[in-house]
Structure 1
Amino acid sequence: MNSRCFLVHPQQEYSMVPFSSNSATEDRVASARNRPPRVTPPSFMVRMAMRISRARWFTFLRRVFHYQNGSRSNLGSNPFNSSTWMMLEFIALILQITITTFTLAISKRERPIWPMRIWISGYDIGCVLNLLLLYGRYRQIYLTQGDSLSLSDMEQQRNNEETRMSHLMNKCRTSLELFFAIWFVMGNVWVFDSRFGSFHHAPKLHVLCIILLAWNAMCYSFPFLLFVLLCCCVPLISTLLGYNMNMASSNKGASDDQISQLPSWRHKEAGVKLELGNGSEGSKKLINEDPECCICLAKYKDKEEVRQLPCSHMFHLKCVDQWLKITSCCPLCKQGLER
């Protein structure tokens, strides 16, 4: 009896041990399968590429490249008419006018061989004329934007006059660009010709001419540098890192703060005064609005909330808010929220 019991118990113990070990192994395998895969953090280069692709200046460069090289029927608004770019132009012109005027004032005793002082004075006058044209562009785009919303006979006549003024300004701008191109060539010939070497006779004026010529060379080569950046460098970096920088910048959605800053109001019949809803209490204006929302293709109803984008296109508030959270550009003209 004892021997039988002794033989039985070890067999039972021996048969139970592998069973428990097999079940534990299967549990570990199942838990390993159900466990989500461990995501490796992006490298330093990928994080830098993500930050660059989502930066405002990179998005602006893509808009400039699309405007200069895209199809004329599918272009958005001119990115060079944005308030940020016009402010940069204003600062650059003020700096050039100040530096050239100050250098001419402190270098009266210098006697250059070639007419360097005349060249700098002509460049200074051209910058002043450019500053006046910049003010005219700003006044035409922003200060008269609210008046162009209503459509009466007097306003149509006024719009025709503004159109003539815009054509005149474009002609003046083209003439100034031609003047600067000719002046740039003349300055290069005089500065880098050994017969007109006047660094020892007029060092301050000579250095100023070289700085102005280098600045103009950078401005003239901007389209080529932009092409090299977006068509050569960015695709190469995206291929090496495995991260599409163009898609990341174009698919970036707007934040809630950016969306809330856009003007919104409750819809009423066309030609009736509308009350703005973002902090401008009691302010009213007339607007010639579209009959339907281009996102949901439904007509605007009375007291429905609508929102207007910086490009003056209007949509249902709920429709355009959902759109902007996905991509921060207008559904029609593809202009971004940054003006």
Structure 2
Amino acid sequence: MSTRYSTQLQSSAILSITVSSSSSLDSTPREENSHNAAVSESSPSSLLMRLAMRVSRARWFIFLRRVFHYQNGSRSDLGTNPFNSITWMISELIALLVQITVITFTLALSKNERPIWPVRFWITGYNVGCLLNLMLLYGRYRQLDISQGNGFGDIEQEQRGREDHTRCSHLMNRCRTSLELFFAIWFVIGNVWVFDSRFGSFHYAPNLHVLCITLLAWNALCYSFPFLLFLLLCCVVPLISSFLGYNMNMGSSEKGASEAQISNLPSWKYKVIGDTSDSANDPECCICLAKYKDKEEVRKLLCSHSFHLKCVDQWLRIISCCPLCKQDLPN
């Protein structure tokens, strides 16, 4: 009786093990299929995440962030002017040469056209402005080349060179402001002459009319660049970051800086000059928000922003970019 009962128990156990194993084998493909389906469903979000990471680490996006910080940051932490970089100057040079070439070719091609408004005079004045802007660009390049030069020899020559550099920078800024004012006034005059609905100027001078509209559209895009940049970095980027859960403003660097990159940055010991009783205007480290004390080690990044050496070294080991303007360190 007991033997028969034990045999039944063994057979039922074997049957239960067989059923459970078969059910597990059947459930394994189902789990794999569900996992593959989940992966396939989450692939668009992962694709968007990778795309956002690539965009946040792109050079043009880092440059736009530097421009926005330079235009809207506090005067004490502006850093270097991003528009004085070699890449931007080359882009300006190409744009100016293309405009001068197209304007000269169109003026030579449309000698027989007789526009109602003096559109030819407007185009010629715009071309002269481009030539002046080209000369100003060369002056900016020469000024940048001189400012990046090493020491002048002795202290007197170095001080004289700094004074000449300051005088030239003031003169360049005045010339640039005057030229921007000229282009703004010329832009308004061109809109009045071209888009006057009382005359059909397109039938009398089609080539000049199309060229004027093209130049006006290019200037309108340039004037709206700060507003478009504000929409991109203050509206579009935060929405994408909150949707993906990835901060694009902090994703400029894939990893921290190496010890060799950090050690190549200049550093010195801070020295307090003059009366230290009034410390309201003393510089401070934006990482720890503490003012610099005498003989504290300070490190300066390539963007001209300075921090405590210990603070910024710890920051750069995590993210290899400036805490203020997000400019990456060179490799």
Q: Same fold (TM over 0.5)?
A: yes
Find the partner of 1:74 among 64, 70, 77: 77
Contact 2:69 2:325 in 1 (8 A): no
Give, in angstroms, the shift of residue 8 of structure 1: 7.4
Contact 2:256 2:320 in 1 (8 A): yes
| Residue 212 (structure 1) aligns with | 215
| Residue 225 (structure 2) aligns with | 222
Pair 323,195 (structure 1): closer, same or farther in 2 beyond 3 Å:
same
| Residue 180 (structure 1) aligns with | 183
Q: Determine what percentage of the aligned residue pairs are the same residue.
A: 62
| Residue 327 (structure 1) aligns with | 319
Pair 157,137 (structure 1): closer, same or farther in 2 beyond 3 Å:
same
* Alignment partners' CA distance in 2, 1:151 and 1:197: 67
* Alignment partners' CA distance in 2, 1:336 and 1:115: 49
Q: How does 1:7-156 map to 2 (within 5 A)?
A: 9-10=6-7, 13=10, 40=39, 42-43=43-44, 44-148=47-151, 152-156=155-159
* Alignment partners' CA distance in 2, 1:233 and 1:83: 28
State the AA in 2 paired with 1:290.
Answer: W
> Which whole-Å deviations, capped at 9, do the CAs of 1:56-95 have from their partners, x for residues lacking one?
1111111111111122222222111111111111111111
Pair 149,333 (structure 1): closer, same or farther in 2 beyond 3 Å:
farther
Q: Does 1:158 align with 2:161?
A: yes
* Alignment partners' CA distance in 1, 2:226 and 2:324: 26
Structure with higher RCO (Cα < 8 A, 6+ apart): 2
State the AA in 2 paired with 1:99.
Answer: V
Give, in angstroms, the shift of residue 314 of structure 1: 10
Pair 334,8 (structure 1): closer, same or farther in 2 beyond 3 Å:
closer
Contact 1:65 1:226 in 2 (8 A): yes
State the AA in 2 paired with 1:162.
Answer: H
Pair 333,229 (structure 1): closer, same or farther in 2 beyond 3 Å:
closer
Pair 90,289 (structure 1): closer, same or farther in 2 beyond 3 Å:
same
State the AA in 1 paired with 2:328.
Answer: G
* Alignment partners' CA distance in 1, 2:125 and 2:221: 20
**What is the DSSP-based 3-state SS (H/G/I as helix, E as strand, rest coil) of the residue aligned with 1:290?**
strand
Unaligned 5+ runs, structure 2: 22-34, 271-284
Contact 2:262 2:313 in 1 (8 A): no
132-141 or 320-329, which deviates more:
320-329
* Alignment partners' CA distance in 2, 1:336 and 1:135: 27
Q: Does 1:198 align with 2:196?
A: no
> Which whole-Å deviations, capped at 9, do the CAs of 1:123-163 have from their partners, x for residues lacking one?
11111111111111111113441235766201211210111
* Alignment partners' CA distance in 2, 1:157 and 1:18: 99
Give, in angstroms, the shift of residue 18 of structure 1: 11
Unaligned 5+ runs, structure 1: 25-36, 268-287, 301-306
RMSD: 4.2
114-123 or 174-183, which deviates more:
114-123
Q: Does 1:336 align with 2:328?
A: yes
Give, in angstroms, the shift of residue 48 of structure 1: 2.4
Q: Does 1:290 align with 2:268?
A: yes
Pair 328,141 (structure 1): closer, same or farther in 2 beyond 3 Å:
farther
* Alignment partners' CA distance in 2, 1:88 and 1:291: 39
* Alignment partners' CA distance in 2, 1:314 and 1:235: 28
TM (norm. structure 2) is 0.72
Give, in angstroms, the shift of residue 329 of structure 1: 2.5
Give, in angstroms, the shift of residue 96 of structure 1: 0.8
TM (norm. structure 1) is 0.70
* Alignment partners' CA distance in 1, 2:312 and 2:152: 21
* Alignment partners' CA distance in 2, 1:160 and 1:337: 30
